Every structure is written in C-alpha cells, then in structure tokens.
Amino acid sequence: MSRAYAWWQREIIYQIYPRSFQDSNGDGVGDLRGILSRVDYLTSLNVGAIWLSPIYPSPMHDFGYDVADYCAIDPRFGTMADFNELLVEIHRRGMRLIVDLVPNHTSDEHPWFVESRRDGDNAKSDWYIWRDPAPGGGLPNNWLSHFGGPAWTFDERRGQYYMHQFARQQPELNYRNPEVFEALLEVMRFWLDRGVDGFRVDVISLLLKDPLFRDEPPNPAWDGVRQYASLRHIHTGNLPEVHGLIRRMRALLDSRDARMMVGEVYLPNAELMRFYGGPEAPECHLPFNFQLISTPWQAGEVRAKVDAYEAALPPGAWPNWVLGNHDQHRLATRVGLAQARVATMLLLTLRGTPTCYYGDEIGLRDVALPRECWRDPVAINQPQIAHLLGRDPERTPMQWDSSANAGFAAAGVLPWLPVAGDHRTVNVAAESADPQSILSFFRALTALRRSEPALGVGAYRSIDAVADDVYAYLRSDGESRLLVVLNFAGGTRRLTLPRGLGDSRILLSTTCRLPEEAVVVDRLQLGPDEGIVLRLAEGPSGGAPSPA
Ligand code: NOJ
C-alpha cells in the first residue's frame, strides 16, 4: 500500500508573487529579503513547496514575465546572495523551492533580442519569430495577442514584424531553431546547479507556432467581448511538436535527483493529459489543472469536473488542483467569503497536489482600483474589459497586520499597488490570534492533511445522492477512511449517506467546531456553507459505501 511518493506529490505548493509579499527596503515593492523575513510564516502554513513568480531582471512591462536576463536577480528583488540565502532557509525548514521559467518569450531588452533586431543577418537574427509584411503591406497574418491587438509589432530597423502573444515588449523566441532550445536548457541547468527543486513553466503549450503562419479561423462561439477570443488558436499553441521539446526538458530534470516541473496549460482534459507524456516519454510532472477556477460554484458541477478529471488521468499520472493565481480573480471574490472555506477544504482534500495562492489563506479579496492605480497591461490596453480581465485586483500587498501599510511596507512608503481597505481586520496577526479565523482553519486543515495519508495520497471516490448542494467523497489509504462533505449552499442540509458507515468522528469543520462526541453519519447535518472531514469507523460490513 505504501509506495513512496515524491515531495511534489505529497506537499502543498504555495505561490508567492514576490512584488506583493513583503517589502524590506522601503521601495514599495516586495523583495527576497522580505520573503526571507517571512519564512517562518510559510512553515506555519504547513506548505511544502514555495513557487516564486519571476524574480529576474526585467523592465516589468508584464511584472517579470518579460525577462531581460534569465540567470540573474532583478535588483528590485535583491541579489543572487539573497536568493541563495532564501534557498538555504527554505531547505533548512524542509521545504522546496520552485522558480518560474518563462521560455516562450523574453523582454525586448534581453540581449538576445537586442542583437536579433539589429539586422537580418546576425548570429541571433532568427532567434525570434520575424516575418515580412504581407505582400500588399501590413500584418503578416491575423494572429492576436492575449493582451489585446495583433500579435505582431513592426520593427523599423529590420523592416519586419516580430511576434508576441502578450505585450509588444515580450517578443517570442523561435524554438524551430535548435540553438534557442539549447540556450533554454542552459538556463535550466543554471538554476538546477544553484539547487532549485523545480520550475513552474510559463505557457508551456505555446512554445511552437505554425511554421506556415496560417491565419487562425474565427471562433463561432465568440461572445463579442474579448478580441483575443474571436479566433480559434489552432496555429499559435498546443502544436503536437511541442511535446518533443517538453520531453527533452523532462530528460534534463530526470538527470538530476527529485526535481520537477509544473507546466502552465489551459486546455480541456483530453489535450491537457497529453502534457504528462507517457511512461516511456514523460513530460510535465504536473500540467496545472485550472478547471475548477472556471467551474460554476455548485456541488453538482464541481463534482462532475472532479470525477471527469480523475477518469481522464492516464495511468500513473498524478493529479493536481488550483483555485487561484496571479492571473485570476481572488477565490474569496469568486465564490464569496462564506464559501471560501469550503473551496479551501475542497482544494486541500482532493486527491493530488494543491497549489495555493498567497493571501487566499487569510481570505484576501480582489481590490477594486481606480484607473490611476492600474499597472497591468491587460487592463491598460483594454480599459473597456479591465473589470473582467485586469489582474491588479488579485495582486495587492499581503496583509500582515493592522498597521498603515498592513506590515507589507514601512509606514509612509507607497506600495506599488494599494493595500486593501479591509487590512485592519483581515490580516495575519489578527487571524492568528483568532481560533475561528480562516487562517486558523487553513492551518488546522493543512496540519490534518500532513498527518493523514488518506488525505495526502489516498484513493478518491465521490458518493451519490447525498443531499442537494452537497458534494461528498471518500479518501482512503489502507485501513484509514475519511469522508469529506461540502455544503455549497447558504442553508442547512441534512444528509442521506449510504448506510453502514457506523459511528464517525469529525476531524475538522470549516466552522472550526470540533465536537468530542462521535456522530452517526447517516443522520448528519451540515450548517450553512459548512464543510467537514470525518474519520469513518469500521462499518458493520467492514466496508466503504458502494461506489457512486
Ligand atoms: C502567464 C503568466 O501567468 C502571466 O502572468 C503572464 O502575463 C503570461 N503568461 C505571459 O508570460
């Protein structure tokens, strides 16, 4: 029963957006020494791996996802010595460090691009995707940028267009040129040699584009809102050849002990699963599974998504779950504060590796920002849909205490994004002192997950017809059987659970209630917005309820 599980299967990944976690030097931007000063907080969350969004030198048009040097630290974040120290401190506490790898594009200030754009005849002239104007002049084809407008920008000097699916300051590398891929592997070796435990790989499915540069077809289901969605992106992402590149990245990781990569892939199950690769040719250890972020927050819908994902996993593939990141509206804003605990219980009790976004553990919500505070190019380029897609609201400073800048930066410093107005009550200090807070609940849940192999690595099975608005599932490992029951509604729900489960004990509730007495599960009642984890005693039949 107890096969060995790798750290990236057992542990919770916690994402830090470095600009927003902790400022140590008074410039209003978070930094590595700030994170260092909070390492004990990370330990207190019982998370096992820290993922840092990019910390490399960057002109910050896309806040670090426009990298000007893959092998250095931006002075705003600190120095390589600070990085080394952080890595040592994280490792000393038994945690792992995952860094962000952004292979699809660089900054237009990266020396590779500076050289490439010099003329059409230099050593790096085809390291990026350059195209002549269309025969009659104008754009080479109809490809679009995620950030609004065309995916092409004209360069006067070369008299050509270069391609970018994000900001125009993010030219895309040409992985049809083998030298470019070799350079990427060198970057990976650089960080592996420094001791990082893994990579989160930005837009890994986009690395190759159609070599014929064909127009993309219109999207018949377009709702007319976001220009990027007006086309079906069949030539700019998810090309079959990309898997060959990913396999070689994986081979490099496999040549080093216990390193991993988690790929950013927004695709439906059938496509997503291909990013695991096969037993003979493995690819990502984990391709991010983002589907719960867009699933309507209803018990039946969520259960259907989880069961379909579980069923679609190829043999040996390890599941993973994500409910928030720096590109998505905050969890507590999407599902509401009351349901945020239920969602957190779901994330941390499903089978597979969970990724938590900083601040969700204290219930941070999107912060509505006046236009003069917008920093995100997605919002600035498309003001008419900024309220839908702008990403500043979910990137505001971490709230540590009730002081003027919430402890994120010294008083009097102007943070790069405003601190939320609710920071006087929603903060780590206040919530740590309150045993009923979402933070206390989060810590209790992560501790339970650590101590219960059934939650960490056990089998999963959902249970039918429990009650309207309730989703229930079993997690089991050997003799240990846990039942998770989640009430997605704001009213009380009485459950009809399969008979034969016997007496059980509540291990944890989202309300933090912990009755001493045993409960009879087939007479169980859940309060509004309540989720519970129960330990099932051996039933009279000695068995689990019949499968759904
Ligand atoms: C995905 C990242 O998560 C996002 O923040 C970024 O803007 C794009 N990739 C481009 O790197």
pLDDT given for residue 21 in this prediction: 99
Mean pLDDT of 104-124: 97
- Cα atoms in the 13 Å half-sphere on the side-chain side of 31: 21
pLDDT given for residue 544 in this prediction: 45
Please give the distance, rounded to the nearest whole angstrom, from the Cα atom of residue 222 to the centre of ligand 1: 22
H-assigned helices in 100-170: 111-116
How high does pLDDT run on average in the chain?
95
Active-site residue (options: 62, 82, 264, 366): 264
pLDDT given for residue 548 in this prediction: 34
Select the more confidently predicted residue: 289 or 499.
Answer: 289
Q: Tell me which residue has its CA closest to atom 2 in ligand 1.
A: 202
CA dist 65 and 74 (Å) reads: 12
The neighbour count for residue 525, using CB atoms within 10 Å, is 12
Q: Which among 65, 288, 392 is the best mutation to test ligand 1's pocket, defined by most ligand atoms within 8 Å of the CB?
A: 65
- 538 pLDDT exceeds 80? no
- Taking the CA of residue 327 as reference, the ligand 1 atom at the shortest distance is 5
Work out the pLDDT band at 94, boundaries 50, 70, 90. very high
pLDDT given for residue 537 in this prediction: 83
- 313 pLDDT exceeds 70? yes
The reply to whether 121 belongs to the active site is no
Please give the distance, rounded to the nearest whole angstrom, from the Cα atom of residue 166 to the centre of ligand 1: 8
pLDDT given for residue 522 in this prediction: 76
CA dist 32 and 276 (Å) reads: 32
- Taking the CA of residue 105 as reference, the ligand 1 atom at the shortest distance is 11
- 301 pLDDT exceeds 90? yes
Work out the pLDDT band at 520, boundaries 50, 70, 90. confident
Please give the distance, rounded to the nearest whole angstrom, from the Cα atom of residue 464 to the centre of ligand 1: 39
Work out the pLDDT band at 379, boundaries 50, 70, 90. very high
Mean pLDDT of 82-86: 98
The residues lining ligand 1, judged by C-beta closer than 6 Å to any ligand atom, are: 62, 65, 102, 166, 202-203, 264, 326-327
pLDDT given for residue 2 in this prediction: 46
CA dist 34 and 516 (Å) reads: 41
Residue positions counted in the chain = 548
| Nearest in space to 234 (alpha carbons), one of 252, 214, 250, 264 | 214
The reply to whether 264 belongs to the active site is yes
Please give the distance, rounded to the nearest whole angstrom, from the Cα atom of residue 202 to the centre of ligand 1: 7
Work out the pLDDT band at 541, boundaries 50, 70, 90. very low
Question: pTM of the full predicted structure?
Answer: 0.97
Active-site residue (options: 23, 31, 108, 202): 202
Please give the distance, rounded to the nearest whole angstrom, from the Cα atom of residue 203 to the centre of ligand 1: 7
pLDDT given for residue 66 in this prediction: 98
- Cα atoms in the 13 Å half-sphere on the side-chain side of 142: 15
